[in-house]
A and B are shown apart, each in its own frame.
Chain A
């Protein structure tokens, strides 16, 4: 069980920089999500922590020890691969006991350990089966068994649910999280699925183009995105941006565009030029009396809620409203925004402007 600290980690593959100067800290026992679109450097970061790639520069501390130049076998870390990578020429029992064999553990002890792990994962009945014929879920459990059997300092998981079908994913993600809570081991988990990251993670790092965009607990990241990329990547549908050219000054509690004023959290940072007014779909309400108008262009019915797409003077936006509300395409509606949750972004840098509401989240990095 260990704390993992990443400092200025960088990885170049020839001319291509996969990871540039990433820094973050993973606390002991945390379920930590590395989230980002494909090619963002999250898997490379994970592989560097595990020792499967050596960083071009930067440091990795596991349990206080600098390990960036150590081989994978010396780091005492377990890795669960996306395609599971179970040794195909061995049966389930041999697969799970393989890491223990490398430590020279006596046979009787290996047997006891494997039996215990099999009991925890509920795979006692398949121990002597070859791995070839196993179902996706069982393969997943065997891969987990091989990881937990040697009680490593930390677990690395590279999209471990990516190979499972949707129905089973849900079940397995709960099982994984429960397993983590029982063992309490530090887990680093790579995913491109923002829902999975929010459901399972204690903390999330959002990466894009090799850089860390934001790092924090799921709710903070959802409510107070540090950049427009995070705001768009997290949440479905993603955050709405109403683009306008204007200014905000320090201490402002209102912003105006399109001849309207909107309440916003008190700003701590001034900006002028191309700005974006960021609001989550669930904080948009449709109200006839409101002077800011838009025309409904689509309605998606989702059961308890519906997603209403609206063309406004500042761009297209989506609102998540109760299905009980009657909305029809072509209708002209007034729009209101919950002022508590608004972020203002500087479009040229993509960064959120600091406000009284998000400073607690954005200050620490």
Chain B
């Protein structure tokens, strides 16, 4: 028997804790809802005061997000042929004409490549390193582990200038590879430490059984340890992706064109024909979706990952 007793919470306790959870959920979800709503407002509604909670939905923000437009005078507009698409129509209504696609799609794709690429590498190297630290006698193991952790003790941006100079020297400025390597380097300490914890929890006997059964050390790692570590890998991957996906400071400093990710791009939308808050909000909303999908896909593992080791199997 354990020292403390576990009793069913009373109705009042349930009621209070339920209220706390709901309050917290509302507080955290409000800004998110506000952003999503702003994406569907007209530019006037977006900045109206007092703020409009009920408004006429419009997709103008999304049209503005994906298109490059130019302002035309009403007299000039009359010389143009009538709009042939629905989005052209929307642009005309605010006195602009579409001159081409915006760079949002491409920046978004950059984020996907860099975010998932660096997550993959962080997990790949992190798993191998964590396995080695967990299972083998590594000389000065504790010092190495502390060194790896210490890279996380300062804000990564503190080394931005040296990295900028190094990247310029190596020709990695504004390249996908450069950003993937950078985010991998920042994430590795997290992934090595998290994954080591997970691998430590996997009993050695499984691998030993595989070794006895005629498999090599690598086969035992690949076929027996990896499936067992899936939970840890999934939750670590989510943390790594969220960091790489949302990173702003390095991205502003090191990318400007071909490899620019969405976070530094979204603010630049402001300014094309006045403060276009609905377009910014639309960009932010769409930007949330991949991480959301990734997290939902792996949420089962995430929950188990966070409580890992707490419950004896």
Binding site for B on A (CB under 8 A): 50-52, 71-73, 77-79, 81, 83, 85-89, 98-99, 102-103, 146, 150
Q: Which residue of A lies closest to B209 (CB)?
A: A85
Distance to closest chain A CB from B210 (angstroms)? 8
The answer on a CB contact under 8 Å between A85 and B203 is yes
Binding site for A on B (CB under 8 A): 203, 205-206, 208-216, 219, 224, 227-228
Distance to closest chain A CB from B230 (angstroms)? 8
Enumerate 7 A-B pairs (CB-CB under 8 Å) in ascending A order. A71-B211, A72-B208, A86-B209, A89-B227, A98-B210, A99-B212, A150-B213
The answer on a CB contact under 8 Å between B203 and A72 is no
Residue B212 contacts which of A52, A87, A88, A89 (CB distance < 8 angstroms)? A52
Distance to closest chain A CB from B311 (angstroms)? 14
The answer on a CB contact under 8 Å between B206 and A85 is yes
A85, A86, A89, A150: most-surrounded residue (chain B CB, <10 A) = A85
The answer on a CB contact under 8 Å between A98 and B213 is yes
Query: B215 contacts which chain A residues (CB < 8 A)?
Result: 73, 102
The answer on a CB contact under 8 Å between B224 and A87 is yes
Known contacts A72-B208, A81-B208, A83-B205: does B227 contact A99 (CB below 8 Å)?
Answer: no
The answer on a CB contact under 8 Å between B205 and A81 is yes
Known contacts A85-B203, A87-B224, A88-B228: does B214 contact A79 (CB below 8 Å)?
Answer: no
Identify the 3 closest CB pairs spanning chains A and B, nearest first: A85-B205, A102-B214, A99-B213
The answer on a CB contact under 8 Å between A79 and B224 is no
Query: A71 contacts which chain B residues (CB < 8 A)?
Result: 211
The answer on a CB contact under 8 Å between B211 and A99 is no
- Report how far A83 CA is from B313 CA in the complex, Å: 13
Distance to closest chain A CB from B216 (angstroms)? 7
Known contacts A81-B205, A87-B206: does B211 contact A72 (CB below 8 Å)?
Answer: yes
- Report how far A88 CA is from B215 CA in the complex, Å: 17
- Report how far A50 CA is from B210 CA in the complex, Å: 12
Residue B213 contacts which of A51, A83, A88, A146 (CB distance < 8 angstroms)? A146
Q: Which residue of A lies closest to B208 (CB)?
A: A52
Q: Which residue of A lies closest to B227 (CB)?
A: A89
The answer on a CB contact under 8 Å between B228 and A89 is yes
B205, B211, B213: most-surrounded residue (chain A CB, <10 A) = B213
Q: Which residue of A lies closest to B230 (CB)?
A: A89
Distance to closest chain A CB from B200 (angstroms)? 16
A52, A77, A103, A146: most-surrounded residue (chain B CB, <10 A) = A52
Query: B209 contacts which chain A residues (CB < 8 A)?
Result: 79, 81, 85-87, 146
- Report how far A253 CA is from B146 CA in the complex, Å: 70
The answer on a CB contact under 8 Å between A73 and B208 is no
Query: A150 contacts which chain B residues (CB < 8 A)?
Result: 213-214
Query: B211 contacts which chain A residues (CB < 8 A)?
Result: 51-52, 71-73
Query: B206 contacts which chain A residues (CB < 8 A)?
Result: 85, 87-88
The answer on a CB contact under 8 Å between A103 and B214 is yes
The answer on a CB contact under 8 Å between B227 and A73 is no
The answer on a CB contact under 8 Å between A73 and B228 is no
Query: A146 contacts which chain B residues (CB < 8 A)?
Result: 209, 213
- Report how far A79 CA is from B206 CA in the complex, Å: 11
Query: B224 contacts which chain A residues (CB < 8 A)?
Result: 87
Query: B219 contacts which chain A residues (CB < 8 A)?
Result: 102
Distance to closest chain B CB from A98 (angstroms)? 6
Distance to closest chain A CB from B141 (angstroms)? 14
Distance to closest chain B CB from A292 (angstroms)? 49
Query: B210 contacts which chain A residues (CB < 8 A)?
Result: 87, 98
Known contacts A73-B216, A102-B214: does B228 contact A79 (CB below 8 Å)?
Answer: no
- Report how far A79 CA is from B214 CA in the complex, Å: 11
B205, B215, B216, B228: most-surrounded residue (chain A CB, <10 A) = B205
The answer on a CB contact under 8 Å between A79 and B203 is no
Q: Which residue of B lies closest to A143 (CB)?
A: B209
- Report how far A21 CA is from B216 CA in the complex, Å: 30
Query: B212 contacts which chain A residues (CB < 8 A)?
Result: 50-52, 72-73, 77-79, 99
Distance to closest chain B CB from A117 (angstroms)? 14
The answer on a CB contact under 8 Å between B208 and A102 is no
Q: Which residue of B lies closest to A99 (CB)?
A: B213
Query: A81 contacts which chain B residues (CB < 8 A)?
Result: 205, 208-209
Distance to closest chain A CB from B32 (angstroms)? 37
- Report how far A86 CA is from B228 CA in the complex, Å: 12
Distance to closest chain B CB from A235 (angstroms)? 32
- Report how far A81 CA is from B214 CA in the complex, Å: 16
- Report how far A247 CA is from B215 CA in the complex, Å: 60
- Report how far A111 CA is from B206 CA in the complex, Å: 23
- Report how far A86 CA is from B208 CA in the complex, Å: 11
- Report how far A287 CA is from B206 CA in the complex, Å: 58
Query: B205 contacts which chain A residues (CB < 8 A)?
Result: 81, 83, 85
- Report how far A102 CA is from B224 CA in the complex, Å: 13
The answer on a CB contact under 8 Å between B208 and A79 is yes
Distance to closest chain B CB from A276 (angstroms)? 42
Known: A73-B212, A73-B213, A81-B205. 14 other contacts (CB 8 A): A51-B212, A52-B211, A52-B212, A77-B212, A78-B212, A83-B205, A85-B205, A89-B228, A99-B213, A102-B213, A102-B219, A146-B209, A146-B213, A150-B213
